[in-house]
Amino acid sequence: MQQHTGSAVAIVTGAASGMGRATAMTLAKDGWKILALDLVAGTFQGPDGEIEIVSVDVADRVSIKNAIDSYVAQTGASIEAVVNVAGVYPPSTLADFTTESFRKIFDINVLGVLNVTAEAVSHMERGGSVVNFASVDAFSVSPGQLLYGASKAAVVMLTKELALELAPRNIRVNAIAPGWVRTPGNETTGRMDEASKSIPLKRVAEPEEIARWVSILTGTDASFMTGETIVLSGGDVMR
């Protein structure tokens, strides 16, 4: 894992809990300064002091721009990594989806990735890395996840398109597609114990296991990798 010192900043969305929180903590331990973004402001204890969560709506590009521009102006920091973790996964089917549910899921899961990336890359003069969070549902159908699966498939294609577009600026773009992970949101489903029985490794992932792959993708070990999506499912989904 690459150790970062000085003014290198990693933006992490969805940083208040789950995989977002674990990612922010892991990157902070690697030496990154963290610009943590989530819908609700707050703080949490990092390895070297408190990390402040800035309140933004990833679907609101102006909100994102103001948060990033303000942080850079105040700190003089150099943004070198963007990790788009924020996402929602309410169930939906053809029988019950609505225009409102479609817009909410795609605004956060897809438009949010574009908004944060677009506003961050203008500050990535030295190049860097973008890591998007897709899902195994982008590759394998989950009953009752009509819109969520479609939104995460869109993230996989956005990752490829952005990798091609940003390569001349020395910005790499990759994605992670987690399966079942022990997050607060997944805990509420009551389905993890049953789901783990069908996973070849017979368990779900811990958020820190997923976060370590973000550390790899933002470091020098993945310096020749771009446009790829890594599936982390314990063998539940193989490509």
Cβ atoms 237, 151 nearer than 8 A? no
DSSP state of 136: G
CB hemisphere CA count around 63 (13 angstroms):
12
- Is 71 designated active site? no
The two counts, helices (H) then strands (E), for the chain are: 8, 8
Among residues 71, 133, 139, 148, the one annotated as catalytic is: 148
Cβ atoms 200, 185 nearer than 8 A? no
Across 78-228, the runs of DSSP E, i.e. the strands, are 78-84, 128-133, 171-178
Instruction: Measure Cα distances from 73 to 70, 77, 125, 136 in Å.
Output: 5, 8, 15, 38
> What pairing do the DSSP bridges indicate for beta strands 171-178 and 229-232?
parallel
Cβ atoms 52, 36 nearer than 8 A? yes
Which residue reads 């933002």 in tokens?
Answer: 218
Q: Indicate which residues carry an active-site annotation.
A: 148
